[in-house]
Structure 1
């Protein structure tokens, strides 16, 4: 016996099927070919979710099916059956624009899930371009569908070339607006604009997305970073706490590491390799004399907690990697959305990256940078 939500879903779906069937009969008797075609297509669509579930084990939430079918029915009855759109060019423009936004947010949801589930890795600008291209492709396919109906049943959906170009222009505008929204969504790592329904469908059915990207091993990442050398996003340090000239523990070594981490957080993120000299020589971590890797990681975590802050730990990931028979510490820093100060010897200092160096900002330069980089903190 089906559950209550499922039973309600079946009742509503079958009711819509009955209405579509009656609509088809009405359209046949009144010689309205377009309504006939749309009613048949909509009727077939009502069986697709169950077919996908049975053949490919793809589950589509019942709420999504109901909302989609009600929208389709409303479009059909208000549009052609009742002649609601006839004689109003602005209503036609509004419907086309609304449809372009719906298709755009469908594209945004697909890119969001692909990015979230590690199928693709892209920066916000490229992500926005993908959203724009996908949204415009969906809209163009819809225009081709209308053209096909016009060719087969003379539906009159596209009256002339001007009408088609007007629809394509509106679709382009909708795709552009959604791609801008997608850029902000990817940049701020939010999913508020993505369709909850589509996200659930795609996440519950991983076969629709294809295989995940093969992640690079930490060792390969380290080797590539060493080959690139120091940049605005890459820094090498010889040791964690040992001065290699005196062979003694030196707090200044730890402070240099904390400066670099703070600078990465305040700029655009970066990778810090400890156990590498400035000329790319692999020195290892043996000079720091930690009894084991756990003690080393705990020491780094405690330094960050004490001098940068617990709240920034999620932006910092450290791992010990072995390369050329020596251990290297890789610290990956993400860009922080909040200003980060280094607290050291009863002082608070602010660092950013400038090329391959970490520099301290003070006075008006500090104020200007924070106002520009972190406007929400003002």
Structure 2
């Protein structure tokens, strides 16, 4: 079964692109060149969920049906509200909130990606198989979160992007909240899976 581009996700993407285009026009008119660059980056990022869906279809990988919608909203919250509208500065918890969403959703994405890839052997108990899948999904989420923190560090080190706002404390708290969200999601998925079997 192929992953589909939903009408909802296409509509959300178009709406967000319009908002970003209008923001770019206002930023150009007021000579806010950093905002122009951020809006262009955000506009490019909105293509990513559709590109990832296309690659998943080529590789016969299954994604959650809500993948595109959640990713589009996440990009908008991070790029537009977080960076352009400065929610990261005005709301101390905004960055942690987004890292928690990422940590949780990455577990769900991993569980979908391994469907049909990892097969249960007859001698493996259902409980052990579910636990193995969730350990993998949890590790996948933590790995992605760690790679993101490395990306932020590289951006700051080479391009002076100011992505790591609080230094070691920012990086540590981001990783902790991602790990906690991934762990809670994994535990919930574990007990839900046990109930189904």
Q: TM-score, normalised by structure 1?
A: 0.39
Higher relative contact order (Cα pairs below 8 Å, separated by 6+ residues) = 2
Alignment-derived partner of residue 252 in structure 1? none
Residues 1:48 and 2:63 are matched in the alignment: no
Distance across 2 between alignment mates of 1:169 and 1:8: 33
CA contact (8 A) 2:12 2:72 kept: no
> Which one has a bigger Cα radius of gyration?
1
CA contact (8 A) 2:137 2:186 kept: yes
Task: Determine helix, strand or coil for the equivalent of 2:89.
Answer: coil
CA contact (8 A) 1:27 1:35 kept: no
Alignment-derived partner of residue 176 in structure 1? 183
Change (3 A) 1:85 1:180: same
Alignment-derived partner of residue 125 in structure 2? none
Distance across 2 between alignment mates of 1:175 and 1:45: 22
- Identify, as 1 or 2, the structure richer in strand: 1
Structure 2: any 5+ residue segments left out of the alignment?
121-127
The size of the alignment, in residue pairs, is 181
CA contact (8 A) 1:143 1:164 kept: yes
Alignment-derived partner of residue 155 in structure 1? 161
Aligned partner (choices 100, 106, 109) of residue 109 of structure 2: 106
Distance across 2 between alignment mates of 1:91 and 1:131: 25
Residues 1:30 and 2:29 are matched in the alignment: no
Change (3 A) 1:104 1:49: closer
Change (3 A) 1:20 1:120: farther
Q: 1:118-137 maps to which residues of 2 (within 5 A)?
A: 119-121=118-120, 122-137=128-143
CA deviations over 1:35-94 (Å, ceiling 9, x no partner):
2464254144266268549x9386989975345324422332221222223143333333
Alignment-derived partner of residue 165 in structure 1? 172
CA contact (8 A) 1:136 1:175 kept: yes
Alignment-derived partner of residue 86 in structure 1? 89
Residues 1:65 and 2:68 are matched in the alignment: yes
Structure 1: any 5+ residue segments left out of the alignment?
191-378
The Cα of 1:158 is off from its aligned counterpart by 0.8
